[in-house]
Amino acid sequence: MGGKTKYIFVTGGVVSSLGKGIAASSIGLLLKQRGLNVVLQKFDPYLNVDPGTMSPFQHGEVYVTDDGAETDLDLGHYERFIDRDLSQRSNVTTGQIYETVINREREGGYLGRTVQVVPHVTDEIKARIRLASENGENVDVVITEIGGTTGDIEGLPFLEAVRQFRLNHGREKCLNIHLTLVPYIKAARELKTKPTQHSVKALLEIGIQPDILICRTERPLNQDIRGKIALFCNVDIREVIEARDVPSIYQVPLQFRKEGLDDIICDKLHLTCPPPDMAEWERMVEKIYSMTESVEIAMCGKYVHLHDAYKSIVESFTHAGVANDVHVNVRWVDTEKVEQDGPETHLAGVQGVLVPGGFGDRGIEGKVMAVRYARENNIPFLGICLGLQVAVIEFARNVAGLKGANSSEFDQDSPHPVIDLMLEQRSRTMMGGTMRLGSYPCRITEGSLAHRLYGAFDTDERHRHRFEVNNAYRKALTDAGMVVSGVSPDGELVEMMELPDRPFFIGCQFHPELKSRPNRAHPLFKGLVGAAKVFKREHDTGQGEQSVIHGDDWREER
Ligand code: GLN
């Protein structure tokens, strides 16, 4: 273990959805900008081995790392804030811990001892914390976010492990930061500190004294309130940090900086480093708040009632908006409704159409209709994963004349399975972790739109799918005008397709949203939003701008 590594544990109290992930990410960014080498990690207290088999309605988006781990969406925030590619070590679930412990028991690894939560499960949790710092580099700080809310039964082993970890590794090397809620009670016109006091009490019962409290609040915390929290929760007044609601999540690190949070952390962990360089980040946030122009892009999916299911896409729109100096307003379009009412009702007036990834046949025909509407009306279009597959199906049916074309995921008897199961997927019977997952190289076709957008012949992108464009139909499709603009290095897998006779129509088999960063918008998103801006100018109805800042609130809605 890196002897110099320091550890920060972020817990949450009172209620869920306070934005622990954003808080941990913001701390990570501030420390990184002070020159420290930072890794973030999330512990999820559920028994699923990973969220890969969970419904997006339950869990939100599944975030995929370069090394192919299917992880919690908070890892997306981590990567976007600290601009570092994380690995499977950064997301640990109770399911993984138990899997390891039980497998070790079956192998006889415990030499006949009774296997128990303490010490065996807690030992494994501690090993995973250390593992996060062992990535071949000198990691200065590991920030571990503990999922769930203090007081949850399933979170107890993690908190016990955190308590022991600090005891084992030295008090001065570890820090506990607790995120709580200070609600404003309208009738009393007062902020209330009691929930925070109770939640700290719950932590103290487990043996954890938080060093710093981050208090989510609608209103400013005055000195009286801060003093009261400090007194009852046994911390210094400057260790009570105000985290007021802000319109953009990207402002949170700047808020924390103003409150002196990173200075306190560095003092307490004896980290000597210069103040953070936040100039570029500040410029980005200023831009988010000052843009006046806007475009509207339709997100045509089936999980549209839970925006968390498309978290990274929404963030990628923000990044691409900053790059194009325009706000992106998302119109959430449920493709089952498109099937009922026709595309015009739901898509009229948008300047872009995005069909995101997905599984299962519900709403598929609505997606096909949305793609057709975009294609026929020259509306800028981006299809991601399932979105590419649907674009190929639409093109096959309506342009290439392949009647009944479909994906074998939705129609086993289609006369033209233009999308089919990948060869290596045919023999799989297990669901978890068996898709084509993680980063793979992609070769880009010279002279294509993709080539213009990327400005390169090669890229690496992250994947999560079982099906692919059926090579038996590649010729029929390209003869009809579709261009294959990205392929795997052996040429076998279609990674990107486009329609060169449209202003902007492109599909990708990978997930570009997983690699977009605040100051480095992904080329495909940047291209889509740029094309939407041009489309709007060309089709301007002369109506005034109505700009809305999206990504409005940094609370996670689960
Ligand atoms: N269901 C499709 C497949 O498995 C698409 C997956 C996705 O969009 N992530 O290939």
Pick the CATH number of 292-554 from 2.40.110.10, 3.40.630.30, 3.30.465.10, 3.40.50.880: 3.40.50.880
Indicate if 292-554 has the same CATH topology as 2-283. Answer: yes
Task: Give the distance (Å) from ligand 1 centre to CA of residue 368.
Answer: 15
Measured CA to CA, the distance from residue 438 to residue 418 in angstroms comes to 24
Mean pLDDT, residues 100-113 taken together: 95
> What percentage of the chain reaches a pLDDT higher than 70?
96
Q: Of 307, 463, 511, 522, which residue is the catalytic one?
A: 511
Residue 551: CB within 6 Å of ligand 1? no
Task: Give the distance (Å) from ligand 1 centre to CA of residue 467.
Answer: 6
Across all residues in the chain, what is the average pLDDT?
93
Q: Which helix (H) or strand (E) holds 125?
A: helix 122-133
**Mutation probe of ligand 1 site: the residue of 361, 408, 464 with most atoms within 8 A of C-beta:** 464
Q: Of 461, 498, 513, 556, which residue is the catalytic one?
A: 513
- Residue 355's SS3 state is strand
How far does CA 174 lie from the centroid of its chain?
Answer: 27
Task: Give the distance (Å) from ligand 1 centre to CA of residue 114.
Answer: 43
In the predicted structure, residue 286 carries a pLDDT above the cut 50: yes
CA-closest residue to ligand 1 atom 5? 386
In the predicted structure, residue 556 carries a pLDDT above the cut 60: no
**Mutation probe of ligand 1 site: the residue of 55, 302, 303, 359 with most atoms within 8 A of C-beta:** 359
Atom of ligand 1 nearest to the CA of 359: 1
- The pair of structure tokens assigned to 221 is 């915390």
Active site residue 442: no
Please give the pLDDT value at position 544: 45
Task: Give the distance (Å) from ligand 1 centre to CA of residue 523.
Answer: 21
Instruction: Determine phi and psi for 359, rounding to 5 degrees.
Output: -135, 150
Q: Of 266, 385, 442, 508, which residue is the catalytic one?
A: 385
In the predicted structure, residue 208 carries a pLDDT above the cut 80: yes
Mean pLDDT, residues 258-270 taken together: 97
Residue 232: CB within 6 Å of ligand 1? no
Helix runs in 470-522, H state only: 474-479
CB 326 within 8 A of CB 287: no
Amino acid of residue 309: A
Q: Kindly report the length of the chain.
A: 558
Active site residue 511: yes
Helix axes 122-133, 156-169, angle to 10 degrees: 60
Measured CA to CA, the distance from residue 531 to residue 324 in angstroms comes to 10
- The pair of structure tokens assigned to 112 is 């006949």
* 30-83: pLDDT as tens digits: 999 999 999 999 999 999 998 888 888 888 899 999 999 999 999 999 999 999
CA-closest residue to ligand 1 atom 1? 359
Domain borders along the chain are: 2-283, 292-554
Residue 436: CB within 6 Å of ligand 1? no
Please give the pLDDT value at position 22: 97
429: CB partners within 8 A, 6+ apart: none
Please give the pLDDT value at position 542: 53
Atom of ligand 1 nearest to the CA of 384: 8
Please give the pLDDT value at position 300: 97
Residue 358: CB within 6 Å of ligand 1? yes
In the predicted structure, residue 256 carries a pLDDT above the cut 90: yes
Residue 229: CB within 6 Å of ligand 1? no
Under the banding of pLDDT at 50, 70 and 90, the label for residue 334 is: very high
Measured CA to CA, the distance from residue 328 to residue 535 in angstroms comes to 13
Residue 422: CB within 6 Å of ligand 1? no
Residue 409: CB within 6 Å of ligand 1? yes
Please give the pLDDT value at position 558: 33
In the predicted structure, residue 552 carries a pLDDT above the cut 70: no
334: CB partners within 8 A, 6+ apart: 301, 302, 304, 305, 363, 366
In the predicted structure, residue 430 carries a pLDDT above the cut 80: no
Mean pLDDT, residues 286-307 taken together: 93
Residue 73: CB within 6 Å of ligand 1? no
Mean pLDDT, residues 543-556 taken together: 43
Mean pLDDT, residues 454-478 taken together: 97
Please give the pLDDT value at position 541: 60
Q: Is the domain covering 2-283 a CATH 3.40.50.1220 domain?
A: no
Residue 385: CB within 6 Å of ligand 1? yes
Under the banding of pLDDT at 50, 70 and 90, the label for residue 266 is: very high
Higher pLDDT, 543 or 126: 126
Atom of ligand 1 nearest to the CA of 435: 4
**Mutation probe of ligand 1 site: the residue of 335, 465, 495 with most atoms within 8 A of C-beta:** 465
Mean pLDDT, residues 513-532 taken together: 97
Residue 486: CB within 6 Å of ligand 1? no
CA-closest residue to ligand 1 atom 9? 357
In the predicted structure, residue 136 carries a pLDDT above the cut 80: no
In the predicted structure, residue 424 carries a pLDDT above the cut 80: no
**Range name among 197-201, 228-232, 371-375, 431-435 with the lowest pLDDT average:** 431-435
In the predicted structure, residue 425 carries a pLDDT above the cut 80: no
CB 509 within 8 A of CB 403: no
Measured CA to CA, the distance from residue 483 to residue 478 in angstroms comes to 6
CA-closest residue to ligand 1 atom 8? 357
Under the banding of pLDDT at 50, 70 and 90, the label for residue 422 is: confident
Active site residue 513: yes
Instruction: Determine phi and psi for 124, rounding to 5 degrees.
Output: -65, -40
Residue 467: CB within 6 Å of ligand 1? yes
Measured CA to CA, the distance from residue 20 to residue 180 in angstroms comes to 9
In the predicted structure, residue 546 carries a pLDDT above the cut 60: no
